[in-house]
Structure 1
């Protein structure tokens, strides 16, 4: 048993069904990753370079896109390499790092959405106090909260996982998942603390979700009373709600599949369930904000127009 618990490499068995069409999957995945990089970086650069967009709402959008770049970078390079490799393995330390990146990315998305909901609540429900509440210092604190808190929470989860003795090295996914590594533990008794911390983590982010729901219930209640508030809600909150809906559907789909999905489910469907939150949200969010928010759309179209005129 002691020999079995000394594991330095994990095998990612989720690739077994993709090998017959791996070249096709490679080019589709590469195209998807390049598009994610292009549209997210374009939005980030636009907001950074245009001083008129240096407002809390746009800075939070910039943070949102940067987090999308962080999460997808933790997945796509390794995934693309594995698609062309005959052996699909990842080192023990690499597995824990990937689990840390991917799950801190997902929870950072929820934290940023909660901060954006707070920003819209203050802007619409307390407009006269907006400037005094959403100061630069407050904005920096909220951005740090949305990044550092998930990173620290999942660092604790990963550190607790690293102490476990494992009796298997097979992970039935395309990437490393912390709870799957925990399931490989030799003794279920050793995972009690891991389970407790996992439940605490879930509770923390469920409260994030409740806060967002409460904010928008109050926003809708306020907007019904005023035409100006309704106009501001449609202009600035609809993109945020669209992003929130995309996030909720993709993450809940993956969580429900992990919790209730059958082991007999076709591997291709399991793979889709596993990666769709790394494809849909990072791709859709910058498009949603880029096209639905007038200021950003105008800046991007203006930049494209200037470039086209310059080439003529």
Structure 2
């Protein structure tokens, strides 16, 4: 077979690619249902925790403030991101053949990566909100108006969704020489690595999208926290206490998500064969499982208004039961 015939054969095989196979799943027939119950419980817990806080914020007028509206956007994104992962993960655990259709794989790529971009954007906007609240408390209501909140939330969602729409459209026409993905879910770079020919455009586009999202978000976050630290060191004890109480959950959320996202980028771009396979699997799921579970717990416990509303709801529940 000459080179031209080989290329034609690859072209034919690539156009017939209708599914992908995941190889990161291991034989778990003895513990299959135990794994399913564990993952299902985790997914239900994530849904309930985030959904309860969304309902509490939406129903109570006292929480219709910019900070809680940004939190509501964050919790909606946690539901969006976990739903992009868990349903397929649960099906794969119960299945003996770990495959997914091409269209569903591309849909998962869009959901997972846009979730990450929206998460960073939300965290950046929240840091800006805390900067205004702490550095300009008297002017906060005039600087952070309702219209501005709507614009910031809309941009933190629309820009990542549009960017990911473009990226997915770039990998759609790729001619693939294989259909094996060494992960538990579909991601952008795993598909790019399967391409038969030059993928310079896709690589540059992916790196540009990730770099712009991360640099824009981190720049705004660092700027906000530098200003907050300056005010804290020169301000009163009450100002420092306010800064600590409102910024601690945000910083913990940022560090947790940054760790998961950084490992995912390193794993995609570099050879990680020296890392045990089970550890790679766990860390690849970190930003899609720990973040949606950690955020509602942290913010629910740290925000005094939310805690007080939960207490009042619990007291009302006891009175009804009695």
- Deviates most, 277-286 or 202-211: 202-211
TM-score (norm 2): 0.93
Q: Quick one: distance in 2 between partners of 1:165 and 1:13?
A: 21
Spell out, residue by residue over 1:219-253, the C-alpha distance to the aligned partner (whole angstroms, 9 max, x if none). Answer: 11111111232122022111111111111122222
Q: Quick one: distance in 2 between partners of 1:262 and 1:278?
A: 20
Spell out, residue by residue over 1:152-178, the C-alpha distance to the aligned partner (whole angstroms, 9 max, x if none). Answer: 111111100001100101111111001
Match of residue 281 from structure 2 = 271
Q: Does 2:306 match 1:296?
A: yes
Q: Quick one: distance in 1 between partners of 2:176 and 2:93?
A: 27
3-state secondary structure, aligned to 1:75: helix
Correspondent of 1:207 among 198, 213, 216: 216
TM-fit CA distance, 1:203? 2.2
Q: Flag structure 1 segments of 5+ consecutive residues without an equivalent.
A: none
Larger of the two Rg values belongs to structure: 2
In 2 relative to 1, CA 261–309 (structure 1 residues): closer, same or farther, beyond 3 Å?
farther
Q: Does 2:265 match 1:249?
A: no
In 2 relative to 1, CA 266–234 (structure 1 residues): closer, same or farther, beyond 3 Å?
closer
TM-fit CA distance, 1:258? 2.9
- Deviates most, 269-278 or 290-299: 269-278
Match of residue 169 from structure 2 = 159
Q: Flag structure 2 segments of 5+ consecutive residues without an equivalent.
A: 1-9
Correspondent of 2:225 among 212, 216, 230: 216
Q: Quick one: distance in 1 between partners of 2:275 and 2:245?
A: 42
Q: Quick one: distance in 2 between partners of 1:265 and 1:25?
A: 23
In 2 relative to 1, CA 160–308 (structure 1 residues): closer, same or farther, beyond 3 Å?
same
Correspondent of 1:3 among 8, 12, 15: 12
Q: Quick one: distance in 2 between partners of 1:203 and 1:304?
A: 45
3-state secondary structure, aligned to 1:10: strand
- Deviates most, 220-229 or 276-285: 220-229
Match of residue 47 from structure 1 = 57
TM-fit CA distance, 1:129? 2.0
TM-fit CA distance, 1:20? 4.4
Spell out, residue by residue over 1:53-100, the C-alpha distance to the aligned partner (whole angstroms, 9 max, x if none). Answer: 000001111110110000001111111111111111111111011000
Matched-pair contact (CA < 8 Å) for 1:257–1:273? no
Match of residue 78 from structure 1 = 88
TM-fit CA distance, 1:150? 0.9
Match of residue 226 from structure 1 = 235
Match of residue 258 from structure 1 = 268
In 2 relative to 1, CA 19–160 (structure 1 residues): closer, same or farther, beyond 3 Å?
farther
The alignment's C-alpha RMSD in Å is: 1.4
TM-fit CA distance, 1:267? 2.9
1:79-158 to 2 correspondences below 5 Å: 79-158=89-168
Q: Quick one: distance in 2 between partners of 1:111 and 1:127?
A: 23
TM-fit CA distance, 1:292? 0.6
